[in-house]
Chain A
Amino acid sequence: MWTRNGSSKQIAKDRLRNVLVHDRADTSPEFMSHLRDDLMRVVSEYLEVGQNGVDMKLQSLDDHVALVASIPVKQLKRARQRSGNN
């Protein structure tokens, strides 16, 4: 149907979804810190990372929200170091 793309209904839905990503993250103080802790735990299994200078945020792009993370990497762990430890 010609109304599908760019119909005001679709635009409303997309805008709503994006705004709710931010609202829900903002109104739940533990959300970002829990996500950050969990993500760091997983990443540290693969990489030796610096805890200082970690930056993680939800960022609005043109048509969607992105989780953008910057994590300082010190070293890549060897395969032997990766499994089972931590």
Chain B
Amino acid sequence: MGEVIVITSGKGGVGKTTTTANLGTALAQSGSRVCLVDADIGLRNLDVVLGLENRIVYDLVDVVDGFCRLRQALIRDKRIDTLSLLPAAQTKDKTAVTPEQMKALTDELRQEFDYIVIDSPAGIEQGFKNAIAGADRALIVATPEVASVRDADRIIGLLEAAEIPPARLIVNRLRPQMVRRGDMMSVDDIVDILAIDLIGVVPEDEQIVVTTNRGEPAALIQGSRAGEAYRSIARRLKGEDVPFMDLEETSGFLDRLRRIFGQA
């Protein structure tokens, strides 16, 4: 029986879709059978991030409405054959699906896959409620900004109210140099304020833009720092104890010199 994981954030544009695509890719790469579900109905995005946009025939709403069978709507990734996508509908809106239907859908997917990863829309309304309806656990994406962490806190409260086990946190777009300069909240600051468990830290990385342009997730690329971060998250999700890369560690030339001479 597969496990259903929802990727959510409250605030928009913080990296839910990027995380879903990369985490899913990394999980599938390690041999698990993974289905990604785009629950952002009306604003379909996950397909383009994955480079699968030209292969869509049916979508989630078609399945829920009984226009097609679930199998017919699933798109299998040609690069990793254990990865599938259930795309969102682009022309409908969030009210086209109910939480009960989403729960039934994810329960059906559990039979076929090890992990079902759901890309939640921003906000706390119906789209969010649909996305969490069938979830066993949640990963919250937040960037090191006041508004993002604030919204993450709200989401944590709502997940608690929905009786979903304690969410784990992904800090995205961290810029270590800014943290060192005192101009960005550190991972510890955010974890401390939200009081939840950390599952990963993804640095700000130009590779994300490049790989998204190309439609091939950074997790596929060796040497991409963000890709590496997503692969670590996938391993932690599977219960492996993977040490955190110390992104905030002083790493500039001067800092290294200082360390060599025992001053830092």
Contacts and interface: CB of A to CB of B under 8 A. Distances in A.
A20 B150 contact: yes
A17 B189 CA distance: 11
Interface of B: 145-146, 149-150, 153-154, 157, 179, 181-186, 189, 193
A20 B157 CA distance: 11
Determine the main DSSP class of A at the interface with B: helix
A13 to B, nearest CB: 6
A75 interface: no
A8 B193 contact: no
A27 interface: yes
B226 to A, nearest CB: 22
User: What 7 pairs across the A-B complex have the smallest Cβ distances?
Assistant: A7-B182, A3-B182, A9-B182, A8-B183, A16-B146, A12-B146, A12-B185
A23 B155 CA distance: 11
B254 to A, nearest CB: 15
Counting chain B CB atoms within 10 Å of each CB, which of A1, A12, A13, A16 scores highest?
Answer: A16
Nearest to B189: A13
A8 B193 CA distance: 16
Contacts of A7: 182-183
A19 B151 CA distance: 11
B145 A19 contact: no
A47 to B, nearest CB: 35
B146 A27 contact: no
A24 B157 contact: yes
B182 A20 contact: no
B145 A12 contact: yes
A17 B182 contact: no
A4 interface: yes
Given A15-B146, A16-B146, A27 B181 contact: no
Interface string A14-43: 011101100110011000000000000000
B157 A16 contact: no
Contacts of A15: 146
A23 B150 contact: yes
